Structure 1
Amino acid sequence: MTTVAVVGGGCAGVLATRELLSNTDSRVVLIEPDEPGGGLAYGAARPWHLLNSRAGAMSADPRDPGHFARWAECSADDFRPRLEYGRYLRAVFSDISGRSGTRLTVRRSRAAGLSATGVVLADGREVRADHVVAATGNPAPAQPAACPDHPDYVADPWAKGAIEAIPSDVPVLLIGAGLTAIDVALTLTEGDRDAPITAVSRRGQLPLTHTAVAAPPVGPVLDDCMTLRDVVRAVRAEAARAGDWRAVVDGLRPYLDELWTAFTPDEQDAFLRHLARPWECHRHRMAPSVGARVATLREEGRLEVRAGGVRSMSAPPAGGLLVELEAGVQWFGAVVNCAGPGRLPGAAGSFVGGLLDAGQARVGPHGLGLDIDASGRLVAADGRVQGDRWLIGPLRRGAKWETTAVPEIRAQAHNLTIPVG
């Protein structure tokens, strides 16, 4: 019987474990130091943090799209709390664990690296496995070049208690204006905070907002598109015809990986420089109630969004940080990094960094993730495809594009083609 080790017990790890136990006769060893099913996205959320996808898109079962909505007893159009989705993943894991008996083993440990015969744990022991699925989530957060080693600089907003420790009477700077910044702003304003919050990013663009009810997806006609410029032109034309750009963005989603891999490296670079941020704002949208809350905070002057960058930071003796922005130098009682995932190899965690150091993996295109073949198998530093080592989740980005959301990760888990021996 084949043994598969799954490294990581967040969303990707749970979905991979479920698929392997449901569709193969393999034994599975899940390696995760914490309770499976939490992960960064759902384990560290607060009650006011909502999913940015509708319940109808969040099923763990690719054959049963309504599974999560039924479990949560809600409409497919609802935007549910992320904490609730974490409970759902734990329930999914508990169900498959109960039905799999001795075929599933959970090792509550951290993976330190790979050996010729399996996974090496942090305590030096080894989990022997015929195949390994790496499901370790995003790279570490990107750190601004000017970031200081200072108690009032929060390098990781998801660290336990980091945001709650910020006093309510000091102005706060958020570096970044994406969904992480929105989550932090919601947490900071959940209590009696009166001090202002400023979010700064290169473009000063916040994520856009979902409609209450989803329009049917509209796929743009891409048959004659040969270049990135052609695709952009076709998408804009279809959005003008459709009347709601959201339907076109959603209709484009199934084709994104095919488009991404068809672009030349120069076109991919151009997309990352000029179009990635506008695309993210349109693609990864806020729930309607979150969008309304953010609009109110801005109207009340409690949240300001600025375009530009952080030029420098310094620490005055009295505490806080002096930050040089494009408009000048300003004092903040705390600065929170909300810049999103960094690039490899610098942002690699200990496990992924170990793979890179050992030549068992190599950095993928543009440093966004690890390199893989068309099936999702890791490519070593010497260019050899690792036939028994697989990758799913956000670290496929670069080789693929649309690989961070539950529907795509669910499909990756379902499509693992691990041979049964």
Structure 2
Amino acid sequence: MSDASSLPVIIVGGGFSGAMLAARLAERGQASVLIERGDAFGTGVAYSTPNDAHRLNVRAGRMGALADRPDGFINWLRAHHPDQADPNGFAPRRLYGLYIRDRLATTEAAYPALIRRVNGVAIAVEKQAAILSTGERIEGRAVVLATGNPAPRTTPAGEGGRLIANPWTPDALTPIRPDDDVLILGAGLTMVDVLLSLSSQGWRGRATAVSRRGLLPRAHGSGHDAPVDLPPQALIGPLSARLFAARRLAEAHGWRRVMEGYRPITLDLWRAATEAERARFLRHLRPRWDVHRHRIAPEIAAELDRMLADGRLTVRAGRVRRVEASAEAATLRLTARDGAAQTLSAPWLIDCTGPGHDAATAPLTAALIAEGRARLAVSGLGLDLDEDGRVRHADGAADPALFVIGPPARAAFWETIAVPDIRQRIEALAARLTA
């Protein structure tokens, strides 16, 4: 039996969260094993896109991988891609992926043997160990689940050839012909990326996007918006009163400044909220929060506006009742906001409902739940975690050696999608694991 203090930290998932945690641990003298099913170490799905039309949703000057060096990415651009080195701009995500890979490789060179890369699929997590599909058992002093964003799960993958259940699968959009019309389930960031991908391959058809409320992502302003000072009535008290105060502030100062005011304290507000308040927020306010909080680059928003004006993009609000797909076409049957039944058909249907997080059915976490080593959060957003990101057992006790970081940790931290938020969690977890 190995001395626990000499064992590595096992990180399941080699995207941004996992790779940058491994790098930060190495800089603190802690070895780690980074397990990734593919070869996209550091990039994951978001930053492995080869399409330069896919832009960051945060200004380049704030996308450094280290919490105390937010200018790290812009400095890297100045050295390697000076034509893209605009701190106020939104660089291609491809370049950000190269930056992350470069930081990982540079850290590996500076701290030899402290990061071990493993190409493989983790199929089980035992106490302080990960089991791979090959049967290999990797022991460690702790296990961190950094599995990132899974594929959409709204539509069944086997429904038919005209249904594209996962638009991030390589060449998933290739069969769509230039003049084909498409139905898109979802109107958020994934939809935006799909439209950009289609346009890049010469597509000139029409798209109809359907979502529950028909809301599109909002755009960033021309420059960074200074946060507005939030008064007590926007921070405490009933949610309805806080919402009223926030709307009044937005009328006076602009909604972007209000969102910037909330940004640094969102975690504190989430932690202070009761389960009933979280449920109300998720049920009524989340869609509007998402489109204002997770904004898109102004040039991307302008492209959407052109498509809307030209009639090439239509957005409808409604609840989908049935998805049908055959070898020739796809059909959506939905109930509109006014209660009317509608039927939409097109040659293709693309599932853009976003990451299909479901800890209850994902193989790794479902097994942990069945064993009583994990439980679902009351909010339904994922596993129940403590304030350090440790998984809570069925009895509520926090596991001392099992952590979650990145998007799957949203039940505990809510804001776990954008790099500026994830890097704060990386710093906290790295400190916790090397204490």
Q: Same fold by TM-score, threshold 0.5 exceeded?
A: yes
TM-score between both structures, scaled by the size of structure 1: 0.93
Matches within 5 A, 1:134-283: 134-144=145-155, 149-222=159-232, 225-242=236-253, 244-283=254-293
1:330 maps to 2:344: yes
Letter of the aligned partner of 1:131 in structure 2? A
Contact 2:163 2:325 (C-alpha < 8 Å) held by counterparts? no
- Match of residue 11, structure 1, among 8, 11, 16: 16
1:217, 1:18 → 2: CA distance? 32
Matches within 5 A, 1:102-117: 102-117=113-128
Letter of the aligned partner of 1:240 in structure 2? E
Letter of the aligned partner of 2:26 in structure 1? L
Q: Helix, strand or coil: the match of 2:144?
A: strand
Contact 2:23 2:115 (C-alpha < 8 Å) held by counterparts? no
Residues 328 and 218 (structure 1), Cα distance of their counterparts in 2 relative to 1, 3 Å cut: same
Residues 117 and 203 (structure 1), Cα distance of their counterparts in 2 relative to 1, 3 Å cut: closer
Q: Helix, strand or coil: the match of 1:251?
A: helix
Residues 230 and 214 (structure 1), Cα distance of their counterparts in 2 relative to 1, 3 Å cut: same
Contact 1:17 1:28 (C-alpha < 8 Å) held by counterparts? yes
Matches within 5 A, 1:6-405: 6-23=11-28, 25-35=29-39, 36-44=41-49, 46-73=51-78, 74-144=85-155, 149-222=159-232, 225-242=236-253, 244-315=254-325, 319-325=328-334, 326=336, 328-345=342-359, 348-405=361-418
TM-score between both structures, scaled by the size of structure 2: 0.90
* 1:193 CA drift (Å): 2.4
Which is worse superposed, 99-108 or 282-291? 99-108
* 1:139 CA drift (Å): 4.3
Contact 1:198 1:303 (C-alpha < 8 Å) held by counterparts? yes
Q: Helix, strand or coil: the match of 2:68?
A: coil
Contact 1:140 1:349 (C-alpha < 8 Å) held by counterparts? no
1:153, 1:132 → 2: CA distance? 37
Residues 321 and 387 (structure 1), Cα distance of their counterparts in 2 relative to 1, 3 Å cut: same
Residues 315 and 11 (structure 1), Cα distance of their counterparts in 2 relative to 1, 3 Å cut: closer
Residue identity over aligned pairs, in percent, reads: 36
Letter of the aligned partner of 2:177 in structure 1? P
* 1:322 CA drift (Å): 2.7
1:225, 1:419 → 2: CA distance? 34
Contact 2:149 2:357 (C-alpha < 8 Å) held by counterparts? no
Q: Deviations over 1:84-117 (max 9, x none)?
A: 1111110010011111101221111111111224
* 1:45 CA drift (Å): 5.5
Q: Deviations over 1:154-211 (max 9, x none)?
A: 1111011111222222210000000100111111222432321111111111001011
Aligned match of 2:82: none
Q: Which runs of 4+ in 1 moved over 4 A?
A: none
Contact 1:44 1:160 (C-alpha < 8 Å) held by counterparts? no
Q: Helix, strand or coil: the match of 2:391?
A: strand
1:370, 1:56 → 2: CA distance? 33
Contact 1:148 1:314 (C-alpha < 8 Å) held by counterparts? no
Q: CA RMSD in A?
A: 2.0
